[in-house]
Structure 1
Amino acid sequence: MARVLLGVGFVMALMLSSPGHAAEPVDTARSIIGQQIEAFLNDDATAAYSFASPQIKGLFPSQDLFFEMVKRGYGPVYRPGNFAFGRSKIDGSTVVQEVLISGPDGKDWTALYSLTLQPDGTYKINGVQMLQQALGPEI
């Protein structure tokens, strides 16, 4: 019986590690977003820019322009206090991921990330929409 369980465990490990069993799109999107936020926190413009889609790179053709745009227009993403992943949606080759962020000013934000599947099979960030959260009722 122990041999059978060991054999089943070995086969399952092979299945999970094989290239045909790639990560789910939502897991991939969350990983990419987390890595880009980490790059912002480390002031690593090269790494942060590497997660941008070709469309975004067309609008901001250098990593310096991209990084400055994020600093000026996306402060909560550039310097989040805390962040957590919320709801997600897959629409064809696009993943929309909600990220709940506590900004550097203490205000709460929702960032809606849009990631698109590229011809090489990777996902790239194609846009972020920032929504400031309304204050809840007093407690």
Structure 2
Amino acid sequence: MRIAALLVAISIVFSSTAALADDVAAAQGVIRAQEQAFARDDASAAYSFAAPAIREIFPAPDIFMAMVQSGYAPVYRHKSFEFGESKSEGSWIAQRVHIIDANGEAWEALYTLEQQADGNYKITGCSLLKAGQAV
């Protein structure tokens, strides 16, 4: 009986770990797709990955794109963009991204994403700091 209970517990841990990995992969896919849309200057595609609250603040793709270009230049244009640590809690995922900007300077971005009612993840925010700066 103990072996059966142990096997059930192990299968629950592995299935939840696999689900978490799937969620993180989905969130990273959203971030990567938005990054690629920025590279193509495709404001509509980039905007489509923003959560409803972001879309309320920036009510049109061109307004959103202008904000990214002026306030998030390392996200908009960069030499490298690599995923770091991720954390998940409930329907939320936080994903760190290590960025080297167009001038060769290092940055840390922290993206937050929330799973929507349709099951897809949308970006709820992005905090950007020069690497080495305290939070």
Q: How many residues align?
A: 115
Post-superposition shift, 1:134? Answer: 2.4
Counterpart secondary structure, 1:127: strand
TM-score with structure 2 setting the length? 0.81
* 1:110 corresponds to 2:124: no
* Identity of matched residues, %: 47
Post-superposition shift, 1:29? Answer: 0.7
Aligned counterpart, 1:92: 90
1:55 partner letter: A
* 1:67 corresponds to 2:65: yes
TM-score with structure 1 setting the length? 0.79
Counterpart secondary structure, 1:24: helix
Equivalent residues in 2 for 1:123-134 (5 A)?
Answer: 123-134=121-132
Post-superposition shift, 1:72? Answer: 0.1
Aligned counterpart, 2:47: 49
- Runs of 4 or more consecutive aligned structure 1 residues displaced over 6 Å after TM superposition: none
- 1:113-137 deviations in Å (ceiling 9; x for gaps): 00001111110000000011129xx
| C-alpha distance in 2 between matches for 1:91 and 1:131 | 23
Aligned counterpart, 1:12: none
Unaligned runs of at least 5 residues, structure 2:
1-18
**Superposition RMSD in Å:** 1.6
Counterpart secondary structure, 1:99: strand
| C-alpha distance in 2 between matches for 1:76 and 1:25 | 25
More helix per residue: 2
| C-alpha distance in 2 between matches for 1:40 and 1:56 | 16
1:119 partner letter: A
Aligned counterpart, 1:119: 117
